[in-house]
Amino acid sequence: MRDCHQTKPIFSNQEYNNMLNIYFIQLASLLYLLGTLSYLFYIVLLKDFLSRLAAMMVTFGFASHTLGILTRLLEAGYTPVTNLHESLSFFAWMIIGILLIANLKYKIKVLGAFLSSIALILMLFALTLPKEILPLHPVLRSFWHPFHVTFAFLGNSIFTLAFCCGVVYLIQEHQLKSKKMGALAKRLPSLKVLDDLNYQALKFGFPLLSLGIITGAVWAEYAWGRYWGWDPKETWSLITWFLYAAMLHQRLTVGWRGRKAAIMAIVGFLAVLFTFLGVNLLLPGLHTYSNWEP
Amino acid sequence: MIELIIIGLNHKTAPIEIREKLAFHESEMEKALLQAHSIHSLKENMILSTCNRVELYAIVREPEKAVQDLKLFLSQYHHLPLQEFEKNLYLLVGEEAVRHIFRVSSSLDSMVVGEPQILGQIKSAYQMATDLKTSGIILHRLLHRAFHVAKRVRTETKISNSSVSVSSVAVELAEKIFGTLEKRTVLLIGAGEMSELAARHLVSAGVEKILVTNRTYERARSFALQFNGEAIPFEEMGQGLKKADIVISATDASQYLILPDQVVKLMKERKQRPVFFIDIADPRDIAPEVGDLANVYLYNIDDLQKVANENMKDRQKEAQKAETIVNDEVAKFVQWYQSLEITPTVVALRKKFEEIRARELEKTFSLHPNLTEKERQSIEAMTTAIINKILHDPITRLKQKDEEVMSDFYIHTLQTLFQLPDQTGEELKEED
């Protein structure tokens, strides 16, 4: 399937490296790196100006990243989420977006360090991959494509936040249960804030994931003439969806909060990661149009 | 010679009964300050009076006489014979006094090291002395340096970062579990001194509602009244447990009052809303296994005390760093202080030489009236150069900052040998 769509790049290797969008992406990565470092220094030194500096770096990084995605959109003429490089970059962009939104209400600092380092890793990964702009695969040339990827990645980014909350929750809970109130416990947010954020993330993330799957199904009907075909990506999305649905249900009915919710957020995120990366890299199927060879 | 002295007593040197008797009440502080200021041997003064210390800071002309005067003042003002409190007094002079003020303002000398209230108390004592003009240039500078030191200690060390009392540890833990304590409910099981203390801390941290239950309902009711709380009959404790976020148990029951099975059931009813049990009873009221349950946090008095002690250790480590800052600042202040003494001496010395030169020039010029203007100028220039060259070495030596001990001696020697007026005090008074 993949081979018959291998086409000659619109731009040759030499040209795409000089393209503006790559510069913006590189600048964004650098700023995310500086932001992450500032967050880490903040955690060690607890000087407020460092957390402000970090937020500033990440904000500038986000702006540069946005420009990168917009210029790529203009250069390519379609929503630039069609191969692994673009998807990773898009995912990172949304994670930082979520960081900035969460920062408005919760002044997250430790969580900021987590989110920005995840985004940074995704960016560095993205930068090592082929970045050519190819003529769009016919299947991707669809009205539904931008909606599908936006919903799916926005959901994923919010689940990334929930994952970070879960990890930090488990660390903080362990500190409190083992009756240590040391330097670590002082630096981490309260359990209440972490659990709240986790729940908020679930409330917003789940509908987005659902929308992502629905738009995907509608698009599949147009592209392949069936809504659902048990392609590995579809199967794993459904597994992920069930996990989050169970989480939400248990939370609302029997009060799965705190530790259980934290563990579930971590498990859910692992499913998200596998659906996104694992399936692409390990299980070939309809979603692997990217010309990236592992 | 002028000198900074401190005379006073604090929680380390005097019992509360004596401190109480010597304390200056806020309402009469003005009167006391002015009365002290009228003592002739005092140039500047201020009074710091808190529940842990009473201290008089003074810039004086003759330290020995001033000390006697101040002791007398304390005794007369408070109508207390000197013998009754003289042994509790400490006297600090010069550099030691500077160090003391810096340590007090950065809360290194406090009962609980690192508690920040003292700085505010010093600030208002200083404010009053400035308003009444009993403080002058030296106290002004000294206190501003003290505030600066306190700020450095606060920002450069972590001395006030952690809770060191059982109650404040409990509050800090509660905040790590519940975030803000607003809208939270506390249930007190058993009404005693310790639970009252903890409850007060929680209320001031923002807890909204206090429920009280006790074996004798009357006691619960009178206790609840103090906090605007609500009393619950002991048999209906379960109701309280369902509502409360923080439970403080302090009964004298001989066996566990709250068991794991009960709490498992309770947590289901609460839909797993977290609960923080604080067991301050001895023997314990709450089975330790309760703390293993999900969303349940259990600390007993020993656990809290352990955290407080750990924090105290950290604080002491930070206090070491703070002492270094203090020493550093003391050295800077002493330098400034000495330059105050040196400058007038140098000025007086130059003035004396200049006068001699002017007199002798006049004599010479009147003996040789036919000198040309140019010749006169060159003689003037030569004599000025001689004076400058003669004075250069001694003045440089005098201003050398590292010879703290000697400079006093040199100043004195110069004053004696050249019969310079001791005008340190006068000069400063003009600057006020």
DSSP character string of B343-397: HHHHHHHHHHHHHHHHHHHHHHHHH-TT--HHHHHHHHHHHHHHHHHHHHHHHHH
Q: What average pLDDT score do residues B398-412 get?
A: 66
Same domain, yes or no: A113 and A153: no
Q: What average pLDDT score do residues B138-144 get?
A: 90
What's phi and psi for B109, nearest 5 deg? -105, 10
pLDDT at A32: 96
Asked if pLDDT for residue B27 goes beyond 60, the answer is yes
Most confident of A114-123, A142-151, B337-346: A114-123
B chain contacts of residue A176, beta-carbon cutoff 8 Å: 173, 176-177, 297
A291: confidence class by pLDDT, cuts 50, 70, 90:
very low
A65: confidence class by pLDDT, cuts 50, 70, 90:
very high
Q: What average pLDDT score do residues A154-170 get?
A: 94
pLDDT at A5: 46
**Mean of pLDDT over chain A:** 85
Residue A254: closest CA among chain B residues belongs to which residue? Answer: B271
Q: What average pLDDT score do residues B378-389 get?
A: 91
pLDDT at B425: 42
Instruction: Tell me which of A180-189, A212-221, B167-176 is least confident.
Output: A180-189
- Which of residues A114, A136, A158 is at a domain's end? A136
Cis peptide before B283 (omega within 30 of 0): yes
Asked if pLDDT for residue A18 goes beyond 60, the answer is no
Instruction: Tell me which of B265-269, B293-297, B310-314 is least confident.
Output: B310-314
Q: What average pLDDT score do residues B415-426 get?
A: 68
**What pairing do the DSSP bridges indicate for beta strands B185-189 and B90-93?**
unpaired
Residues 200-259 of A with CB under 8 A from B: 254-259
Kindly state whether A178 is in contact with chain B, defined as any CB-CB distance less than 8 angstroms: no
**Single-letter code of the amino acid located at A163:** F
B chain contacts of residue A181, beta-carbon cutoff 8 Å: 169, 172-173, 176, 307, 310-311
Residue A252: closest CA among chain B residues belongs to which residue? Answer: B271
pLDDT at A293: 36
Between B109 and B425, where is the model more confident? B109
Between A254 and A260, where is the model more confident? A260
What's phi and psi for B132, nearest 5 deg? -90, 5
A258/B172 CB distance under 8 A: no
Same domain, yes or no: A47 and A132: yes
A chain contacts of residue B268, beta-carbon cutoff 8 Å: 254
Same domain, yes or no: A175 and A217: yes
Asked if pLDDT for residue A3 goes beyond 50, the answer is no
Give the C-alpha separation, A197 to A215, whole Å. 27
Listing DSSP states for B205-234 in one string gives TTB-EEEEEESSHHHHHHHHHHTT-EEEEG
For tokens 């502080």, name the residue: B29
pLDDT tens sequence across A20-31 = 888 899 999 999
A255/B273 CB distance under 8 A: yes
Same domain, yes or no: A196 and A285: yes
Indicate the domain borders of chain B: 3-156, 166-307, 338-431
**What pairing do the DSSP bridges indicate for beta strands B209-214 and B185-189?**
parallel
Same domain, yes or no: A154 and A267: yes
CA distance A241 to chain B (A): 24
B162/A186 CB distance under 8 A: yes
pLDDT at A159: 95
CB of B185 closer than 8 Å to CB of B245: yes
A11: confidence class by pLDDT, cuts 50, 70, 90:
low
Give the C-alpha separation, A44 to A47, whole Å. 9
CB of A292 closer than 8 Å to CB of A130: yes
Kindly state whether A190 is in contact with chain B, defined as any CB-CB distance less than 8 angstroms: yes
Task: Give me the total of CB pairs closer than 8 Å, taking one residue from chain A and one from chain B.
Answer: 60
Structural domain span for residue A165: 142-294
Asked if pLDDT for residue B174 goes beyond 80, the answer is yes
pLDDT at A2: 40
Q: What average pLDDT score do residues A245-265 get?
A: 89
Same domain, yes or no: A8 and A53: yes
CATH top class, domain B166-307: alpha beta
Q: Is the ipTM of this complex over 0.95?
A: no
Number of domains in chain A: 2
Same domain, yes or no: A243 and A181: yes
pLDDT at A224: 82
B202: confidence class by pLDDT, cuts 50, 70, 90:
confident
pLDDT tens sequence across A189-212 = 999 999 999 999 999 999 999 999
- Tell me the H-state helices in A107-143: 110-128
Listing DSSP states for B124-169 in one string gives HHHHHHHHTT---HHHHHHHHHHHHHHHHHHHHS-TTSS--SHHHH
CA distance B291 to chain A (A): 8
Q: What average pLDDT score do residues B31-48 get?
A: 89
**Single-letter code of the amino acid located at B82:** L
Contacts of residue B67, Cβ cutoff 8 Å, sequence gap at least 6: B5, B7, B91
**Mean of pLDDT over chain B:** 86
Give the C-alpha separation, B96 to B53, whole Å. 17
Q: Which of helix, strand or coil describes residue B58?
A: strand
For tokens 């409330």, name the residue: A203
Same domain, yes or no: A125 and A171: no
Asked if pLDDT for residue A169 goes beyond 70, the answer is yes
Instruction: Tell me which of A246-260, B170-184, B407-421 is least confident.
Output: B407-421
Same domain, yes or no: A231 and A268: yes
CA distance B153 to chain A (A): 15
Q: What average pLDDT score do residues A123-135 get?
A: 84
Nearest CB to B177; choose among A190, A255, A257: A190
What percentage of chain A carries pLDDT values higher than 90?
A: 50
A chain contacts of residue B297, beta-carbon cutoff 8 Å: 176-177
A109: confidence class by pLDDT, cuts 50, 70, 90:
confident
A54: confidence class by pLDDT, cuts 50, 70, 90:
very high
B295/A185 CB distance under 8 A: no
pLDDT at B48: 93
Residue A189: closest CA among chain B residues belongs to which residue? Answer: B176
Give the C-alpha separation, A154 to A276, whole Å. 13
Same domain, yes or no: A96 and A152: no
Asked if pLDDT for residue A1 goes beyond 90, the answer is no
What percentage of chain A carries pLDDT values higher than 70?
A: 90
Instruction: Point out the residues of B that are catalytic.
Output: 51
Same domain, yes or no: A180 and A61: no
B chain contacts of residue A191, beta-carbon cutoff 8 Å: 176-179, 274
Same domain, yes or no: A5 and A113: yes
Asked if pLDDT for residue B97 goes beyond 70, the answer is yes
Superfamily of domain B3-156: Glutamyl-tRNA reductase, N-terminal domain (3.30.460.30)
A79: confidence class by pLDDT, cuts 50, 70, 90:
confident
Nearest one of A21, A27, A155, A129 to A77, comparing CA atoms: A21
Query: Residue A178 has what DSSP assignment?
Result: T
pLDDT at A47: 83
For tokens 């809208």, name the residue: B183
Strands of chain A, DSSP E: none
CA distance A100 to chain B (A): 21
Q: What average pLDDT score do residues A68-86 get?
A: 85
Between B54 and A285, where is the model more confident? B54
Asked if pLDDT for residue A9 goes beyond 60, the answer is no
pLDDT at A4: 43
B176/A182 CB distance under 8 A: no
Give the C-alpha separation, B296 to B275, whole Å. 5
Q: What average pLDDT score do residues A275-284 get?
A: 78
